Structure 1
């Protein structure tokens, strides 16, 4: 999967994409906007050559991106890393806020899954010709739908 240059592990952009879970085009874009620092190019081919440190850095970015963190927040996070220990309060605030957003997304996802399960229960009751149960489950689904709607208005 990788080549040897100067006895150090190196990777192509395709290999970097596989290892990080990001696409080639995302890696190029992140480099263009400065999220990924300058990547070394092969002297003869001019192709990008990623070092093990580059891959580790890119995987960190991919992890942040996977949380839904915005590019601006990722840039702030990486800038804060450069500041070191003095940036700890800013990092904690940034990460806690992203964690709060993820918790809200998780809550909304669970709510939508509960709605789907309730609708399936409704149709099971209909299939079984249990109209009383269908009516009860329908009311439950309406209540869940209302909760989903209300969760959207608090964003």
Structure 2
């Protein structure tokens, strides 16, 4: 009976169209990643590209087929709600990344684009240290999520093939 249930479950899963994401395929062989100093999103992007694609990340923008420019990265925290006694109950965390992708000729393949993420952080005065750790974890998660979103947008880029004109 267990085998029948297992086979039925596997066939339903296959029939629904589910498949693992697999390896990303970027439409260029080499890429240069430019990012503001001190922001780990550039390192995350380089790691994602190296691990999940056949595209090579190189250290010279002039030799790259495409350049991914991380223009700005911003973290922000605002009070979202307060109690009747005036104590903070929730914070709203914001993470914004602006980027663009240009090819070797300077043509924008992806014009300046922004990814904006937000998370809600419940807050209690009794757990200040724990909430600081939770905030750092949420910011790290938003950074990782934005790097994944940038990689998916890079995958969607279509590069026009230049064919030689017949003489």
Larger Rg: 1
Bigger strand fraction = 2
Which structure has the higher relative contact order (CA within 8 Å, separation 6+)?
2
Structure with greater helix percent? 1
Please report the TM-score for the alignment, with normalisation by the length of structure 2: 0.22
